[in-house]
Amino acid sequence: MDATDVRVIKAYRLFRDSMRKHGKHVAFPKQTNPKKTYSWRYISNFLDKYDEEGLTDENMRDVINAVVKEAKKKNCLRYGVSILGKIDILESYEKSLENNLLFESKLLDGIISSKSFVDSKGPDWYSSLSGRKNRWSFMNMTMWFDMGLISADFVSISESCGSVLKIVSGHERGVLPSDNEIIKIRTKILMNDELRSKVQNVLGKEIVNNGLFSRK
């Protein structure tokens, strides 16, 4: 297998994995030489266009994910590998980058404003967040989140918020982000080195250490 074949297989596997995320299964026909299939031809043509656009292989996963997402929006996933030739590669990738930038900007703005608000309540975040107006009211963190004064991203990624979440229960817990939502937010931030660095610059030691969520 030469370098070109290896690259086609790599692109195919990235495409297959991306489609799986959307509940779609793709595979080369059984008992057939993959190089003689339409799928191989579609992928080879995709790589030719990929190179024409001047894109690098290190971005191939992101580009293919962007193409698949765009195909889903256009209800084209049923066409399988052929969508690699139906969707504009560069346009899809640029849209994906723009969406990521908007996502990061919104996330960081929310964390910065949330931190500023909590800072205004005093240096002891845990005491401020876990405090209550009276014995019958929700904790401050719950009230502030419900009022939009602190964001879901802040609640999910702040160490102090995580500590308070462990003692919240009942109906009050239902007002705050769910465990699954918290795990998703933490993982998105912590698995992205650049985004994690930006959040850490804002929160410092307040950023959680991992993407797991525990009530222990």
pLDDT in tens, 155-174: 999 999 999 999 998 999 99
Residues 128 and 187 both lie in one domain:
yes
* Domain of 138, in residue numbers: 98-206
- Which domain-ending residue is among 52, 87, 122? 87
Residue 213, in any domain of the structure: no
Number of domains in the chain: 2
The Cα 179–Cα 161 span in angstroms is 13
With bands split at pLDDT 50, 70 and 90, how would you rate the model's confidence at 210? Answer: low
pTM score, whole prediction: 0.62
Contact of 80 with 26, CB cutoff 8 Å: yes
With bands split at pLDDT 50, 70 and 90, how would you rate the model's confidence at 192? Answer: confident
The Cα 177–Cα 216 span in angstroms is 18
pLDDT at 212 over 60: no
Residues 107 and 200 both lie in one domain:
yes
CB atoms within 10 A of CB 121: 14
- Which domain-ending residue is among 48, 67, 87? 87
- Which domain-ending residue is among 87, 117, 140? 87
Least confident span in 18-22, 74-78, 102-106, 209-213: 209-213
Residues 110 and 174 both lie in one domain:
yes
Most confident of 58-62, 84-88, 179-183: 179-183
The Cα 44–Cα 84 span in angstroms is 10
Residues 128 and 150 both lie in one domain:
yes
The Cα 44–Cα 22 span in angstroms is 23
Residues 121 and 79 both lie in one domain:
no
